[in-house]
Amino acid sequence: MTSVRLRWGALLWLLTLQFFVLETIAQARYEGPYSRVDDVISALGAADSAGRQLMNASFVVQAALIAGGALLLGPALRGAAARVTPWLLGAAAVGVLLVGVFPTDGNGTMHAIGAVLYLVGGGLGLVALAYAVRPRSEALGTTVVLLGMLATAATIFFLTGVTGFLGAGGTERLAAYPLPIALALTATTLWWNGARADEGAAPPSRRAEREQEEARRAEQARARDAALEAATRRSAAGPASAEPDDIDPEDPWAPTSRR
């Protein structure tokens, strides 16, 4: 995976945090009381919201950021979960796109389908992503899987209407917020690890590889020539060096023995 692709993919996932900024701005422009505990996120994109265009644009941009980052960072993921993660995150991207294109007070059916796709795909996608990044970082994998499990549990509560404790808005946010948070954490970690790898062990160029191969072959040739020369010298000096070994040190005039 190239460093350029890693940087762009990480940047896209890091920019998913734009959702929190634009949601806050849309809430500030909302006419009348609005509670993040009692009111759902989609209300900020409805016709009676002054910041509806900003909120719906944020949904559409979020879809592009999630899908684009998944495509670019796919090669950085590991294991069998790497094959499932892009599909689940892609479903979440399609879901948030539908939420932005079809407001809740417009085409309610398509909006509901989009919300379910985003929440279910996002929660399960984070669980798969956790296993895909765990070989690279144990801490990141643990954090992402906890966020995925939290989002999945909150999604079940929200879709089944169990919202009495946190409210409808609070439960929905507990299901929706973990995805951009986990994607931003993953992007930062992958980017950081990739930068450190580039600094510590940059891959050699083709020219450098050829030079290393030529140097290795030359060293092998020199070693072979030296070994042949040493063997030739030993062969030439063999008979002369054998005579002193055959002489009896106690009687140097005695005849030599044959072995």
Cα–Cα distance, 204 to 162 (Å, whole number): 57
Output the pTM of the full model.
0.73
Question: Does the pLDDT at position 181 exceed 80?
Answer: yes
- Listed in order, strand segments (DSSP E) in 60-128 are none
**Which is nearest to 177 in space by CA: 126, 130, 139?**
126
Range 70-74 average pLDDT: 94
* Residue 129 near residue 182, CB atoms below 8 Å: yes
What is the band of 201 on the pLDDT scale with cuts at 50, 70, 90? very low
Cα–Cα distance, 209 to 34 (Å, whole number): 63
What is the band of 223 on the pLDDT scale with cuts at 50, 70, 90? confident
Range 98-105 average pLDDT: 94
